[in-house]
Amino acid sequence: MQKRITLITGTPGIGKTTVIMRVAEELKARGKLVGGMTSKEQRDGEIRKGFLIQDVSNGNQGWLASVNQSDGPRVGKYRVNLNDLESIGAKAIQEATKSADVIIIDEIGPMELRSLAFKKAVQEALDSRKPVIATIRFKAVDEFVTSIKNRPDSELIEVNFHNRNGLHNLITEKITKTHQGD
């Protein structure tokens, strides 16, 4: 079966988000309409304060989770902002499923999985016929994540110190060649 779901994994801080963003930029440069969501950590000096999410297509941003969030599900020292996750993150994935050529999801992780709307949007993206590139936790132990990893149309690629600088080129080429008629 053709692999149209690319799951990027690796240890924390290895560069999964950097790889997925480089793939998105390269695909856009090749004329592909890329949509979905990304996340990035927010720091105050050396101290991580939380994570922002961003809609890839329109740049809308919000908080995924923060140490300053007063309510929402707790994941470690952070509280998940379900409102922003659903109104920006899940919505961006749903819009990409409808109108983009390629869907980006960064990341399918413990914070994001606290939202049923997010999980539903991810499932719809995975069930679409469009290529999906997603980052996923290296050692995620979750039934939903395991089901994604075990799909016959998904491929798991590990980012490491040796491949991280060129991996975006390999993924971009694979998607471009495999989905030329899309």
**What pLDDT is stored for residue 6 in this prediction?**
96
Q: What digits encode the pLDDT tens for the residues 9-22? A: 998 889 999 999 99
pTM confidence score = 0.93
Closest CA to 15 of 36, 48, 41: 41
Report whether CATH 3.30.70.1070 matches the domain 5-40+52-57+87-178: no
φ/ψ (deg, to 5) at 78: -105, 155
d(CA 72, CA 22): 32
Computed on alpha carbons and rounded to an integer, the radius of gyration of the chain in Å comes to 15
In the predicted structure, residue 182 carries a pLDDT above the cut 70:
no
Q: Distances in Å between the alpha carbon of 165 and those of 13, 15, 16, 53, 91? A: 14, 9, 11, 23, 30
- Of residues 142 and 63, the one with the higher pLDDT is 63
Q: Give, in order, the Cα–Cα distances in Å from 113 to each of 22, 102, 117, 147.
A: 24, 21, 9, 13
Structure tokens at 56: 């890839």
